[in-house]
Structure 1
Amino acid sequence: MAGAVELTVDGVPATQDDLTHVALVNYGAYTSFRVERGGVRGLDLHLARLAAEAVELFGEPVGEARLRELMRAAVEGRDACWLRVSLFSQEIGPRTPDWSGRPRVMIAASPPPPPLADSVRLQVQTYGREAPHLKHVATFGLIRARRMARQAGFDDALFVNAEGQVSEGSLWNAGFISGDEIVWPQAPMLAGVAQALVHRGLGGAGLTGRIAPVHVDDLAEFDGAFICNSATPACAVASIGDQTFATSPAMIDRLRSAWASNPVQPI
């Protein structure tokens, strides 16, 4: 069926017991990415993320060789697809939090999603994700934030702390443009793979980048802003609250070129 999601756990079709656990216990972490011609841009970063998540949340890594084996099996016969690689353990739950060991691996394979948008209007929300350095499965706050933004007439939410310092968005990282320099916000947040790939490619696009605190009161000083994630290498920000941006389409093209300059790494 077109658009169907195929779920496997440790290389075999997911069972009802597997799905029951992940439906009822939101303890785990994941990474997700587009597969092109049997490879992934930034695969090294995704694998490093999974290794760190496994150790921190479960106590033991899955191992790169095993992860690659499971991913290759999931993409077999597909020219392009989207993979979500999740880590969980049926041994861990609200009453049984103490188990330590190698987590199980759930892989969801589906058709590649389209980019989030071509341009977005962002609502500023005071919010910070729990354990923001992890791409964990506790997504209630993110979905609620995005929903609230849309109900208020915006497209999405940009998170700030109580002092108005910018961190990240609901599904993405943000970057700010000052001439030929990209400023990435310095704050507790998820280090996005797409963000890292754009940053890696900035030099080839004639740009530079740095990390620095960004406050909502500083927004008028920037020439533009953009968001990025694995499905959306660069998308212009039209406004943040009442602050509008004339983000140049040519700059967005340069940012997408920076992302695309990273090679597809074979699984």
Structure 2
Amino acid sequence: MTIFDPALELGHPGADAHPQVLVTSRPNAAMPPPPLRAKTFQFSRDTSAVKHIGLFSQLKLRREAQLAGFDDAIFVEPNGTISEGGTWNLGFVDAAGTVVWPEAPILPGVTMQLLQGAHEQTEIRPVPLADVPQMRAAFATNTSIGVRGIVAIDDVEFPSHDPVLDVPRKVYSNLPDERL
């Protein structure tokens, strides 16, 4: 869903707006999707807490990751902490089995928020890139992919199927549907 004003001029963004709604759809992808291999890049999204169509920089980094043999990009803030993926939130499972969500400037995705509210063993804390090798598992979340495993972040590899990821997958699949 995109909210826009076709009459709004770039030179006058302060003018009165008359927003319109554009709704697009696409078929569901096969589930579960294959696990991701992700490459990190130092990058901070503009206005990260607001979903917007300004995806050029994220998609450029996704392309760079793919050209380097990876599937997608993970963003690292200038202070060395991980934030999110190109169009998805990022979660980890630490050695104790706790789901760890990076505390960083991110777009708080619906799937991530639903999992945070439904999963009992959850923490939100800074995740320095240097801590990735100590994590047991990593995963991506997005409404179109649910919970998708990550098998590599740069040269750090994770098992292709760690049963610890069955927990957030089950939590997500058991969430009640909402009528549109």
| Equivalent in 47, 52, 76 of residue 131 of structure 1 | 47
TM-score when normalising by structure 1: 0.63
Tell me the alpha carbon deviations over residues 194-228 of structure 1, each in whole angstroms, 9 at most, x when there is no partner: 1112222213xxxx101000011111221111111
Give the structure 1 partner of residue 13 of structure 2: 97
Gaps of 5+ in 2: none
Tell me the alpha carbon deviations over residues 4-48 of structure 1, each in whole angstroms, 9 at most, x when there is no partner: xxxxxxxxxxxxxxxxxxxxxxxxxxxxxxxxxxxxxxxxxxxxx
Counterpart secondary structure, 2:23: strand
Percent of counterpart pairs with the same letter?
A: 28
Gaps of 5+ in 1: 1-84
Give the structure 2 partner of residue 41 of structure 1: none
Give the structure 2 partner of residue 161 of structure 1: 77
Distance 1:141 1:129 in 2: 8
User: 2:107 matched to 1:193?
Assistant: no
CA, structure 1 residues 157+198, in 2 after alignment: closer, same or farther (shift >3 Å)? Answer: same
Distance 1:196 1:239 in 2: 24
Distance 1:103 1:157 in 2: 32
Larger Rg: 1 or 2? 1
Report the count of equivalent residues: 179
Give the structure 2 partner of residue 110 of structure 1: 26
Tell me the alpha carbon deviations over residues 115-140 of structure 1, each in whole angstroms, 9 at most, x when there is no partner: 58321111010111111111101110
| Equivalent in 145, 149, 155 of residue 232 of structure 1 | 145
CA RMSD of aligned residues (A): 1.7
Distance 1:198 1:148 in 2: 30
Distance 1:117 1:150 in 2: 17
User: Does the 8 A contact of 1:233 with 1:256 survive in 2?
Assistant: yes
User: 2:130 matched to 1:217?
Assistant: yes
User: 2:63 matched to 1:147?
Assistant: yes
Counterpart secondary structure, 1:238: strand
Matching residue's letter, 1:91: A
User: 2:163 matched to 1:250?
Assistant: yes
Query: Going by fraction, where is helix more abundant, 1 or 2?
Result: 1
User: Does the 8 A contact of 2:137 with 2:162 survive in 1?
Assistant: no
User: Does the 8 A contact of 1:199 with 1:258 survive in 2?
Assistant: no
